[in-house]
Every structure is written in C-alpha cells, then in structure tokens.
Amino acid sequence: MSVLMCDADGELWYTRAEELGLYSIAMPYSYGGNVYYYDLGKNTDFRAFYDAVRGGEIPKTMALNPDEYVQILEPVFARGEDVLYVSFSHAMSGTFEHLDLALEQLRQKYPQRKCTVFDTKSISLGAGIQMEYAGELKKNGASDEEILEKLRAFRDRVTVYFAVDDLMHLKRGGRLSGIAAFAGTLLSLKPILTLDERGSLKVFEKITGKKKALRKMADRVANELTGVEHSVYVLDADCPEEGDALAQMILDARHEAKIVRQTVGPVIGSHCGPGTVGVIFVADQRPIPLAEE
C-alpha cells in the first residue's frame, strides 16, 4: 500500500484534499516576525495576511528542513507503507534537496520502503489540479504505476496563466530582474505569465493594463479549454472583483465550464503579491512562453 501525498504549494482546497484522502504537507511562510504553515485554507487568516502585505510587510517563504521531512515520512514508513508524493515544481524551490537528504537518512532505517516523487512542473493550482487528478485515480483503484503513467500525459496539458498587480513582488522573490520590474511598473505592464516545460516562471505575453490582461486570459481559456471533465480554477490574491470578472468572461464564452473560485494562499501570495489574478485549466498542451530577450 502507499500513501498519496501532496503539498500546500499546490493550493488544492483542504475540503477537496480531505475528500480524496490526500495527505498534505504544510509549507512555511512568515510575516510580522511569526512563522506560519499553510494548511490549504483550513485555519488560514487570509485577511490578516493580505492586510499586512498591503500595509508594507514583506512576507517570506522557506524550505522545510530535512528533520521536518523525516517527521512527516517516518510514521508512514514505520507502518509498512510507501509514499507517492505529487509535488509542486522542483524548479521553484530548494526544498527538494532537503527532501532527498531526509529520504537518504530514512532508507538506512527502512530499506524496504520507497517514496516516489512526481514533479508536476507547476505551482499553485497548476500543481493542485494534478494532485486532484491523482487523488481521483487512486480513489478509483489505480495503482501507483498507473497513476504515474497518466500523470505524465496529463502534466503536459495543464495550462496556467496569471497576471500580477505589482511586478516588484516577483522581483523580490528573484523571479524578475530589478530593471524589468521597475520599467514594467512605470509602463503599467501586466505581462501574462505562465510556466515552461521545466516548471519555471516565464512571460507568455506582454499586456499593458489589467483589464486587457483579464480579457486576454479569458480568450485563451475560451479557445484552449478541451472540455468539462476538469474544473477551471480562477484565483485571486485579495482582489475578488477582478477574479469574479475573469470568471464571468470565461462563462460568457464557455457556458459549460465548471468554474471554481479560490483565494491565492499566503505561500504563493508571498511571491506574486496582492492583486494577482490567474486561471488554471486543462488544454491540449501547456503554453509556449515568449522567447527570452
């Protein structure tokens, strides 16, 4: 037997994770001198977090240390179970180096046990929708090997588009150069961002103005959504009116779409900042970013 794990950076809402029997690894963030662990929204004070950021707090995220991973995994191994961990993008964090150290330590004590890690090469609900898919497969009796085979094909169809309100949040997180952030802010540039095949953040299209960015994202969903088997996730970071507007644009074009609205959690929100709006859905293939300049 195996335990299906995910992590909070996939942002699959806690009720859905519990419904599917997923064990979620809480991920740390800090602000105001305190460290918190995101629990997929179960006990999260979103208002306090975004009010603090809007008030000038600079939140930070951090990797779990090897001992924390040991504490998470060892009880499973001690029960004689393996782990299938569907994770957020390895290109986004050094936390997986700590996971490897923990697994090396645990192998010496539990040589018969294994932890298989599947890299979704995405983040937020770009990873979460793959976690959800894995949970549905497992609930329907699929083996770990069958889940992995289906996930490899599914991963290349998961499509993420989002636009941030302030590029400086990405700059502080090392995702954007200082010059690009400064120039973009002056020009009211709201680039539509996506994730490449490695799971790294890239620019998909350069747009001036938030309304145009929302319309462009809605048009992409209208043209690329393959069906209604999977939900269309529309996320906002403390800007529900804009998220609702994007959801309505999508529904106007694709009445059959199953829209799920959700707030961006504090871990992802620490990097993208308040005012971010995004959409995650399943298409024929993931987007191809702009070429590097």
Last residue of a domain, one of 96, 126, 155: 155
Residues 85 and 178 occupy one common structural domain: no
Tokens coding 215: 């319309």
Shared-domain flag, residues 119 and 193: no
Q: How many of the other CB atoms lie within 10 Å of CB of 45?
A: 11
Output the CA–CA distances (angstroms, integers) from residue 140 to 20, 21, 50, 115, 129, in the order listed: 10, 12, 38, 21, 17
Say if residue 101 is in the same domain as residue 27.
yes
Q: Are both 69 and 162 inside the same structural domain?
A: no
Return the CATH number at 40: 3.40.50.10170
Condensed to tens digits (0 to 9), the pLDDT of residues 161-191 reads 999 887 665 555 554 544 354 444 545 677 8
Lateral strand order in the sheet of 34-38: 34-38, 27-31, 60-61
288 is a domain residue: no
Is residue 84, in this structure, part of any structural domain at all? Answer: yes
Is residue 69 domain-shared with residue 144, that is, in the same domain? Answer: yes
Asked whether residue 135 falls in the same domain as residue 179, the answer is no
Report which residue type is found at 240: P
Q: Is residue 85 one of the residues assigned to a domain?
A: yes
Q: Which of 139, 155, 171 is the last residue of a domain?
A: 155
Q: What is the pLDDT of residue 183?
A: 42
111 and 183 housed in the same domain: no
Residue 193 lies in a domain: yes
Looking at the fold, whether 91 and 180 belong to one and the same domain comes out as: no
- Cα separation, 1 vs 42, whole angstroms: 27
* pTM of this prediction exceeds 0.95: no
pLDDT in tens, 221-243: 999 999 889 999 999 999 999 99
Is residue 114 located within the same domain as residue 14?
A: yes
Whether residues 69 and 107 fall in one domain: yes
CA 282 to chain centre: 14
Residue 292 within a domain: no
253: domain CATH number is 3.30.1180.10
Read off the pLDDT of each residue in 123-146 and give the average, rounded to a whole number. 98
Residue 289 lies inside a defined structural domain of this protein: no
Instruction: Identify whether residues 10 and 55 lie together within a single domain.
Output: yes
Over residues 87-106, the mean pLDDT reads 96
pLDDT digit string, tens, across residues 23-72: 999 999 999 999 999 999 999 999 999 999 999 999 999 999 999 999 99
The residue out of 155, 176, 194 marking a domain boundary is: 155
Segments forming the whole domain that contains residue 105: 2-155
Does 290 fall in a domain?
A: no
User: How long, in residues, is the chain?
Assistant: 293
Q: Report the domain count for the chain.
A: 2
291 domain residue, yes or no: no
pLDDT at 206: 86
For residues 243 and 137, membership in a common domain is answered with no
- Which residue is listed with tokens 């995405």? 122
